[in-house]
């Protein structure tokens, strides 16, 4: 795989069906269809935006840098003039947007609060108020440990753990397993903005956009055998997840490059990057390329050499959830 260093200038109802989602009539993955515009091009786009310095110190992020990165990335992904116009391609005013963060590892390896705050401000500009934004992950304790403030009132965005609202009573059956889906996903969110953190994972190989959806089910601990494969793909194929996911903004400001997904002080590599996509497979393919690049900087072997190839990515591609061929992905790299 080549380096990412090249620079360019330039369903509102609950889905409880056990049927695996297929492609749309046009052959485009259902998750790639924007509600306010045509389907994404047949060659999926992944935008990689880098800042010279997106972190102020430690894990704290520079809000001004994030605003510039979000504006450039959303505009480039959607082909619009600015970030708010880009968001309008994927979300509508009046919708409740679920912002699925990753808070498992605490503040030092979680989705940046500052990133969520800046995205929330952009959503407000398109008339999606704080009461229509729900930040969520599995446990309230994980969210607070990551720096988020739990909230269910006022002007600020809502923030809740799945353990507060709970899970559906009936399990959703998949080919290899079964699980109960979070009510935040099935009952509150009309659309989902997936906000994963790029991390090496000692069981699945990599944690990215696809793996982040394990935070929408009640029993991910039962799905970590065999590198979480095919479980990650099957979870992402569920209609409630696949049809509601509209946009992915991957937090790669400081990925964990080894011994993840928990925070490792000597294995967190500053990359100052955000990845934007609609296709969850394509963004994980590009995220994996970046992760391997960062591992080389630490003189670490490739994931394949330590038997940690994240096979769930290509399984997801074979299931029609996105494009897994790097050569078939349009990667745009931007520096701000």
Place of tokens 């102020």: 56
Angle, vertex CA 272, rays to CA 271 and CA 273, nearest 5: 90
Q: What pLDDT sits at residue 30? A: 42
Does a structural domain hold residue 148? yes
Per-residue pLDDT of the chain (336 residues), as tens digits, is: 445 544 343 333 333 333 333 333 223 344 444 444 444 557 999 999 999 999 998 889 999 999 999 999 999 999 999 999 999 999 999 999 999 999 988 889 999 999 999 999 999 999 999 999 999 999 999 999 999 999 999 999 999 999 999 999 999 999 999 999 999 999 999 999 999 999 999 999 999 999 999 999 999 999 999 999 999 999 999 999 999 999 999 999 999 999 999 888 889 999 999 999 999 999 999 999 999 999 999 999 999 999 999 999 999 999 999 999 999 999 999 999
Contacts of 276 (CB under 8 A, 6+ apart): 46, 47, 48, 49, 73, 74, 76, 77, 247, 248, 249, 250, 283
Structural domain boundaries, residue 93:
30-273+286-335
Residues in the chain: 336
CA pair distance 326, 312, nearest whole angstrom = 15
Does a structural domain hold residue 16? no
Residue 126, classified by CB atoms within 10 Å of its CB into exposed (0-12), middle (13-18) or buried (19+), is middle
Residue 199, classified by CB atoms within 10 Å of its CB into exposed (0-12), middle (13-18) or buried (19+), is buried
Does a structural domain hold residue 280? no
Does a structural domain hold residue 298? yes
Which helix or strand (DSSP H or E) is residue 134 part of?
strand 133-137
The tally of domains found in the chain comes to 1
Does a structural domain hold residue 296? yes
Copy the structure tokens of residue 182: 């979070």
Copy the structure tokens of residue 118: 């800046």
Place of tokens 């990165």: 69
Does a structural domain hold residue 73? yes
Could you list the beta-strand ranges (E) of 165-324: 172-173, 178-179, 191-194, 197-201, 205-207, 245-256, 273-277
- Contact 23/29 with Cβ under 8 angstroms? yes
- Contact 46/283 with Cβ under 8 angstroms? yes
Pick the closest to residue 211 from 241, 169, 170, 253 (CA basis): 241
- The rounded Cα 329 to chain-centroid distance in angstroms is 17
Instruction: Look up the CATH number of the domain holding residue 205.
Output: 3.40.50
User: What pairing do the DSSP bridges indicate for beta strands 191-194 and 245-256?
Assistant: parallel
CA pair distance 157, 151, nearest whole angstrom = 7
Does a structural domain hold residue 313? yes
Q: What pLDDT sits at residue 106? A: 85
- Contact 157/119 with Cβ under 8 angstroms? no
Q: What pLDDT sits at residue 41? A: 56
Does a structural domain hold residue 6? no
């Amino acid at each position: 795989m080549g380096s990412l260093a090249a620079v360019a200038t330039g369903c509102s109802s609950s889905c409880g069906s056990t049927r695996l989602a297929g492609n749309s009539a046009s052959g485009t993955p259902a998750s790639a269809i924007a509600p306010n515009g045509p389907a994404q091009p047949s060659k999926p786009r992944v935008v990689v935006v880098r800042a010279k310095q997106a972190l102020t110190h430690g894990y704290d992020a520079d809000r001004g840098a994030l605003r510039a990165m979000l504006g450039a990335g959303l505009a480039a992904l959607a082909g619009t003039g600015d970030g708010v116009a880009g968001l309008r391609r994927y979300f509508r005013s009046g919708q409740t947007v679920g912002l699925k963060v990753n808070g498992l590892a605490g503040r030092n390896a979680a989705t940046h609060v500052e990133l969520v705050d800046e995205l929330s401000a952009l959503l407000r500009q398109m008339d999606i108020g704080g009461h229509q934004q729900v930040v969520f992950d599995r446990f309230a304790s994980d969210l607070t440990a990551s720096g988020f403030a739990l909230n269910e009132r006022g002007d600020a965005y809502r923030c809740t753990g799945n353990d507060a609202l709970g899970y559906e009573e009936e399990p959703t059956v998949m080919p290899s397993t079964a699980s109960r889906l979070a009510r935040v996903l099935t009952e509150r969110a009309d659309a989902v903005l997936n906000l994963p953190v790029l991390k090496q994972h000692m069981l699945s190989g990599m944690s990215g956009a696809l793996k982040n959806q394990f935070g929408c089910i009640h029993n991910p601990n039962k799905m970590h055998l065999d590198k979480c494969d095919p479980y990650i793909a099957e979870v992402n194929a569920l209609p409630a997840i696949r049809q509601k996911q509209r946009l992915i903004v991957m937090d790669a400001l400081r990925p964990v490059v080894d011994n993840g997904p928990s925070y490792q002080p000597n294995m967190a590599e500053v990359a100052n990057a955000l990845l934007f996509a609609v296709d969850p497979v394509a963004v994980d393919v590009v995220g994996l390329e970046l992760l391997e690049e960062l591992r080389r900087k630490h003189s670490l072997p490739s994931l394949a050499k330590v038997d940690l190839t994240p096979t769930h990515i290509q399984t997801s591609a074979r299931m029609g959830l996105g494009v897994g061929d790097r050569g078939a992905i349009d990667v745009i790299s931007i520096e701000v």
